């Protein structure tokens, strides 16, 4: 009887750990396969079969940003830290785009001003790109030209789009966290119910 209870306990614990690992592995992957890719390279990565830039091999589009390094030069992982040779492209709408080494992706340090390099939920990066862009425009003098006013209008329009992207990314992160919490709660509740039933059986058997 005791061996059966232990066996069920380990099975339940294993399922709980597997669910947690599955949810966490999903959160480590980018929400979009084009994350970390510059707009100029999106057409290159849109093909069904993509060639590594060093010419060593080709890979299927489903293996783009899947967390496994297939190309020696990191062509297949521009949005993750799987390949040490890959580069992450920060779009930084409203500011200056930049390239990061893959080791700086999900390292819990906000490197991109749009926060796109930290998507695993380990840290929340505020989008400061538009704020920086607005500051640059407003520090040029006491009066604004027509061109500057147009630029200000364009930046406000971009700010709305950036805020919407931030909201969607945060919502995706909350969904992942909720799945982990629900899975953990269900696992603990299941184990408590099992232990309670075993104790009740022992009590009835003794009495």
Measured distance CA(189)–CA(173) in Å, rounded: 24
**Does 22 have pLDDT greater than 50?**
no
CA distances from 202 to 1, 2, 42, 205 (A): 10, 10, 64, 5
With b meaning 16 or more CB within 10 Å and e meaning fewer, what string describes 103-116? eebbbeebbbbbbb
Average pLDDT of the chain, as a whole number: 75
Tokens representing residue 25 in the block: 């592995």
pLDDT in tens, 48-94: 999 999 999 999 999 999 999 999 999 999 999 999 999 999 999 99
Tell me the pLDDT tens digit for each residue of 124-178: 999 999 765 544 444 444 444 444 444 555 555 555 555 566 566 556 655 566 6
Check: CB of residue 97 under 8 Å from CB of residue 39.
Answer: no
Whole-model pTM?
Answer: 0.54
């Amino acid at each position: 009887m005791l061996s059966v209870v232990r066996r069920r306990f380990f099975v339940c614990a294993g399922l709980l750990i597997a669910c947690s690992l599955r949810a966490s592995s999903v959160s480590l992957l980018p929400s979009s396969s084009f994350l970390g890719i510059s707009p100029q390279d999106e057409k290159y990565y849109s093909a069904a079969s993509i060639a590594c830039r060093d010419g060593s091999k080709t890979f299927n589009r489903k293996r783009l940003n899947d967390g496994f390094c297939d190309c020696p030069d990191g062509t297949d992982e521009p949005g993750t830290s799987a390949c040490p040779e890959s580069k992450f492209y920060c779009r930084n709408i409203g500011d200056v785009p930049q390239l990061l080494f893959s080791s700086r992706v999900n390292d819990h340090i906000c490197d991109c001003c749009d926060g796109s390099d930290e998507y695993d939920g380990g840290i929340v990066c505020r989008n400061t790109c538009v704020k920086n862009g607005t500051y640059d425009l407003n520090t040029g003098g006491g009066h604004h030209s027509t061109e500057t006013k147009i630029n200000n209008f364009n930046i406000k329009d971009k700010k709305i789009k950036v805020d919407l992207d931030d909201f969607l990314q945060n919502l995706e992160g909350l969904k992942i966290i909720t799945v982990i919490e629900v899975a953990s709660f269900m696992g603990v509740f299941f184990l408590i119910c099992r232990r309670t039933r075993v104790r009740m059986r022992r009590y009835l058997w003794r009495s």
